[in-house]
Structure 1
Amino acid sequence: MPKGTTKRRPQTLARLLDAALEVFAESGFGAARIEDVCRRAGYTRGAFYSNFSSKEELFFALFDAHAERELERIGRLAAATQDHDLSVARIAALLAHIGPDERTWFLVTTEFTLYAIRNPEAAARLAEHDAKLREEAAGLLAGLLARVGLRPRGDLTEFLRVVIALREGALGQSYVEPGALEPGALAEKFLPLLVASVTEPL
């Protein structure tokens, strides 16, 4: 775990995270070396180990930062949307949105998921981070549904498993067939139907 704080630590962390994202996307989590991340960031191994205990911990820092940005994006856009402009289709579009840098994150998280499937301890830790993200997203989604006069018929965290499966499965197809399926298009098309099927009027 990071030890102590300095004025330069936030900058060091940011550079290490940016470098890790690039190296993990290029080489895959398994093949990427801590030395590669340090070299890309312009730091020594000492700088790495003063902030992270392992390559796995570095990935989870990336995971949490990405999750926080996504939740903030949805919350910010939702807050900027007037109630009369909010609809099931609009909610679905917020959930389906694919940013310009999503391909890089897709490569990183897919590689790590395969690594975690082969490593039970990493899988357990990934499951914890996934569960935390689903819980926070469920609260956000519940608020959006209430604004359009709907409530969930069941557990929203379970529904979000389906949303994530649709997003990630569709993204894989989009990146394999970029000319046939635009990223986010499949989720945006079918998510309104899914949202309607698991909600009812207040």
Structure 2
Amino acid sequence: MSRLSRAEAKALTRERLLDAAARVFAQKGLAGASVDEIAEAAGYSIGAVYSNFGGKEQLFVELLKERANDRVTRAAEIVADAAPAEAQRAFSQLVIEVADKDADFAPLQAEFWLYAVRNPELMDAYAERMREPRDLLTELIARSTPDPGRAGELSTIVIALFQGLVRMRRLDPASVPDELFGRALRWLFTGAEADEEPPS
């Protein structure tokens, strides 16, 4: 078996730390988890966490960004390969997967948002890291809408809609039927196309 290059070894360490962090954060929450526990779960020293991420909060932000990027990538695949009706069902399935199967995601995101509000120095870092998935979504929307100038505003609405429906489904599953997110996206984009007022 060939030895990993330095870049490959660093990427593998980073991936293992993120996987371990996801498990530890899911079990103990942001406040209850420690850098020691995350490092031990990944099989590395504490120094590996600090050298790759800077600390627990930065690691958590990176974890949220990675998950958001994964979902935008899924959305891009859906748009590329599916007919409109199939795409609506597939987008709705994303909400179901996060709310019903990735059960730790919404509570952890809400927990960190509250933590960042109480620690304003983290809010800027959180906003900065989350711009990447939002920008990716904006590019995706710009390629698939008649008015690319609205893509930024639409991406903000889509993200807020997704997060809100995930939380609502966790709280009251019956209030968020399986097809609701897909229908809501259709209503949103149909309304945007019918609105002649340009964004300010």
TM-score in terms of structure 2 length: 0.79
Q: Considering Cα pairs closer than 8 Å and 6+ residues apart, tell me whether 1 or 2 has the greater RCO.
A: 1
| Backbone CA RMSD of aligned residues | 2.7
Structure 2: unaligned runs, 5 residues or longer:
196-200
Paired AA for residue 62 in structure 2: A
Match in the other structure for 2:198? none
* Superimposed CA distance per residue, residues 51-98 of structure 1 (whole angstroms, 9 cap, x where no aligned partner): 2211122123213322321222122232223xxx3x3x5555555423
1:193 alignment counterpart: 187
Q: Within 1, Cα distance between the matches of 2:77 and 2:154?
A: 22
Query: What CA distance in whole angstroms lies between the structure 2 residues aligned with 1:24 and 1:176?
Result: 20
Name the residue aligned to 1:19: 20
**Alignment gaps of 5+ in structure 1:** none
Distance 2:54 2:175 in 1: 40
Change over 3 Å in CA distance of 1:125–1:25 after alignment to 2: same
Q: How much has 1:184 moved relative to structure 2?
A: 5.6
Paired residues of 1:24 and 1:108 also in contact (CA < 8 A):
yes
CA change 1:190–1:26 in 2 (3 A) is same
Q: Decide which structure has greater helix share.
A: 2
Partner residue in 1 for 2:59:
58
Give the structure-1-normalised TM-score: 0.78
State the identity %.
31
SS of the equivalent of 1:155 reads: helix
Determine if contact 1:167/1:184 at 8 Å carries over to the other structure.
Answer: no
> How far is 1:47 from its partner?
2.5
How much does 1:166 deviate? 1.8
Q: Secondary structure at the match of 1:29?
A: helix
Following superposition, the deviation at residue 21 of structure 1 comes to 0.9
| Structure 2 letter corresponding to 1:166 | L
| 1:175 equivalenced with 2:175 (yes/no) | no
Deviation at 1:127, TM superposition (A): 1.6
